Chains A and B, each alone.
Chain A
């Protein structure tokens, strides 16, 4: 029954991607030499398009390994699908882009083939939080893409950029904010803890979380829109209807470059950095190729290329990159980021969700 319920939509996406890649393979130029190939799952839509255009061709050129890219559904449907396929010894994709929470959930069932650090040349240059480890220290995933959620403002309404997340609490901003509607995508608990409670460690205990929720409740009168759909907030931000809120740094930068009166600010407490990992399904037989791919993706040149072409924040230390300061600033910041407490959304997911919903709706 689980199968019937979960499969249809994502399977259609996979089939679609399959047909598309079969079309690619039919082209003689690609079919020629490559007997080595790998199936890579990436988030459907923008990421898949950018990767197909800028990243995968470079990889195939450099290594001779053909890539079959597969559009994965966001959310956890893909995790469930990989899990069920792995039970049957199948791997719909050898490598997948996987959210941090889904990576942790996959760890619980040993779904990810441990990654051998020795085969990743730039292993030492990776920022620590981009190495996702099993509790016993084996590597479950390596950072694939990262992006920032920052404090954004409409420049017509706010002449001065705010400097701190505390601006969200400012009574002067009553009914002016647009915030993400869920605990697990807004990461506002982490923001609250970092801004007022000395760091996300304060969320270790349930008392700490409740205290953060209590503090967060003070924001409610300022919030005009709790959004799930990005377009909803982006439009309102541009028009000044809702002149402040949290939003994606890269997208806001693009809008500003288009001449829209918006700005993205890294508050002094840091922007929220969310990210996805590369993980290898335990059912994959192409572990070597997978390591070659992750090694390739973790090179400074490729990370710089990703920042320029896809708009993601680099997973490597800034020193090894060849990004110009303005290129770096368009995707990242020197201020240490707020790293979400992903562990909370696996161990206490339902409890936090319940408290959060009661806070917002109640």
Chain B
């Protein structure tokens, strides 16, 4: 069937609704944020419309650079951990009978219904000295006395990976289900071990899916602000924590907006870079 170019206004009508949603839920809020980031902060009130760069100037310091760097590294680590765990898991899941798959997927979806607060408090209890898992290790003789596993970087990472893992699996699942099984069969027939076939055939075949998933988890993890507070020390606070402080506790909307804009730009840049590298590799 030949696809005709849209001619009349009516032909474009299917685009109206998504377009409207995009404008209402993305363009307007984001433009507002950009506008506010240039406003003049008024310490005794709120802010006044203006066009100043002081908010960005304040952000450009070694201190905030370090916080931004930490946030990005943390999000990248969460993304990598999630994909490393979720990819083989989802692959094995797709090899199970349909019924088993459904049960697993329902369980994973139910984890998604937990809010960040519940996840944070649950892990802080699990990692605590008084009621945490180390008590179990003491009981079975692995440890001498219970210790607190938080606040620490690893606690933050664990909590965030736990939170993002269901998303990762759900994003990977459709691609892995659709993967042509004959690819693996061919590899096995030619003498590859299962692990080798997985690493050399399945992983490269789904490279684009993996990159897309990494980006999605990265962006998801970048916005986390509760788990670093509950499970980490102040040195593990992400930029999102500091943005919240400015917006809610200091009433400094312009500075909070400037930091948020910066965070969005940095993540867009990283995502763009990843896609660019991916495209070049594909071209080779």
Contact = CB atoms under 8 A, between A and B. Distances in A.
A350 interface: yes
B131 interface: yes
Interface in B107-137: 121, 124, 128-131
A181 B121 CA distance: 18
Contacts of A104: 44
A83 B47 CA distance: 12
Interface stretch (A55-63, A124-132, A220-228, A282-290): A220-228
A1 to B, nearest CB: 6
Interface string A101-122: 0001100110000000000000
Interface string A215-250: 000000000111011001000100111000000000
Contacts, number: 83
Given A224-B151, A226-B234, A350-B41, A185 B249 contact: yes
A109 B234 contact: no
Contact of B229 (A80, A182, A228): A228
A137 interface: no
Among B46, B49, B63, B242, max chain A CB count under 10 A is at B46
Interface in A168-207: 181-182, 184-185
A75 B130 contact: no
A50 interface: no
Interface stretch (A2-10, A23-31, A263-271, A331-339): A2-10
Nearest to B131: A239
Interface string A338-359: 0000000011011001100110
A361 B44 CA distance: 26
Interface residues of A, number: 39
Contacts of B43: 346-347, 349-350
B128 A241 contact: yes
A353 B44 contact: no
Given A225-B151, A349-B43, A1 B250 contact: no
Contact of A182 (B128, B129, B235, B245): B245
A239 B46 contact: no
B252 to A, nearest CB: 7
24 contacts: A1-B32, A1-B36, A2-B49, A4-B32, A5-B32, A6-B46, A75-B249, A83-B45, A105-B44, A108-B45, A109-B44, A182-B245, A225-B151, A232-B124, A241-B129, A241-B148, A346-B44, A350-B250, A350-B252, A353-B245, A357-B242, A357-B245, A360-B234, A361-B242
Interface of A: 1-2, 4-6, 75-77, 80, 83, 104-105, 108-109, 181-182, 184-185, 224-226, 228-229, 232, 236, 239-241, 346-347, 349-350, 353-354, 357-358, 360-362
Given A2-B49, A75-B248, A80-B46, 13 more contacts: A1-B32, A2-B46, A2-B47, A5-B32, A104-B44, A228-B229, A236-B128, A349-B250, A357-B63, A358-B63, A360-B234, A361-B234, A361-B237
